[in-house]
Amino acid sequence: MITINNVTKKFPGNTAVSNLDLTIPDGKIFGFLGPNGAGKSTTIKMITGILPIDEGEITINGFNIASHPMEAKKIFGYVPDRPDVFLRLKGIEYLNFIGDVYDIPKDIRQEKIEYLTKSFGIYGSLSDHIQTYSHGMRQKIVISGVLLHDPDVWILDEPLSGLDPKSSYTLKEMMREHADKGNTVFFSTHVLEVVEQLCDEVAIINYGKLEFRGNMKELKEQFEAEQTLEKLFLELTSHE
């Protein structure tokens, strides 16, 4: 579970996130939506400890990300919105580095590396340097690294970006299985069709403030209309 309590983040001349209260429960796929500049990535970077929190607090399975960062970071996996990391390493070197960070035993590590990279179709490219990978392949190697230590909490920022249809389907199936085991899956996306198909609950943020939190049925009932998610999203975020 991720709990965001009255969180605010300010930059010079701009409040990116304002008094945000949000709980992402276990056992559900939770979609995080908003237009560009709404505060999605800023929120995710505060959840993961990349950005400091100006006001409020964030806990992950009970651990405060500010006061107990190591404990919190051990239990979540984070896919950033840009997969350009460790480009000079070979794919296998990167995955073994992740395995060392999380003290994954060699036999379990090898088995999981083979399973994940074959699932995403990059097993044959592990001996190549990541800088030679396409954007989609870099996304796959980052996702494989994130899932390698089997974290309880998945935090995914635009995880389907650049993935081919087969890999996208594979990741969505993994997300569903992970949530069905009672774990947390929190992800942001611009692909509204995926949200409608996959998410148990959604939150919509705009100008750093929460506009809506609930399931699709509640969202449509709020507007008393059988509209598509696209139309509802536009209606919620188009006001000044």
> Do residues 239 and 194 share a domain?
yes
> What is the total count of domains within the chain?
2
Q: Could you tell me if residue 168 is inside a domain?
A: no
Instruction: Determine the pLDDT at residue 142.
Output: 94
Specify the pLDDT at position 81.
83
Residues 57 and 101 in one domain: no
Supply the DSSP symbol for 234: H
In a domain, 171, yes or no: no
Q: 58: which strand partners? A: 4
Q: Do 208 and 188 belong together in one domain?
A: yes
- The residue whose two tokens read 């494989």 is 144
The answer as to whether 32 is a domain residue is yes
Q: Are residues 9 and 67 in the same domain?
A: yes
User: Is residue 11 domain-resident?
Assistant: yes
Structure tokens at 171: 């990741």
Output the pLDDT for position 92: 97
What is the spatial distance between Cα 106 and Cα 99, in angstroms, rounded to a whole number? 8
- Does residue 86 sit in the same domain as residue 139? yes
Residue 36 within a domain: yes
Q: What is the pLDDT of residue 4?
A: 96
Of 231, 204, 207, 225, the closest CA to residue 215 belongs to 204
- Same domain? For 63 and 1 the reply is yes
Q: What is the pLDDT of residue 238?
A: 67
pTM: 0.87
Range of the domain at 62: 1-75+153-158+180-240
Residues 234 and 188 in one domain: yes
List, for the chain, all residue ranges whose pLDDT scores fall below the cut of 50.
240
How confident is the model at residue 34, as a pLDDT? 85
The overall longest dimension of the chain from CA atoms, in Å, is: 55
Question: Could you give the CA distance from residue 84 to residue 23 in angstroms, rounded to a whole number?
Answer: 30
In this prediction, residue 239 carries a pLDDT of 58
E strand intervals along the chain: 2-11, 14-24, 28-33, 55-60, 63-64, 76-79, 153-157, 184-188, 201-206, 209-214
The domain that contains 234 carries what CATH number?
A: 3.40.50.300
CA distances from 214 to 92, 166, 176, 190 (A): 40, 29, 18, 18
Instruction: Judge if 1 and 71 occupy the same domain.
Output: yes
In a domain, 167, yes or no: no
Residue 173 lies in a domain: no
What is the pLDDT at residue 240?
47
Residues 109 and 89 in one domain: yes
Question: Residue 115 falls within a domain, yes or no?
Answer: yes
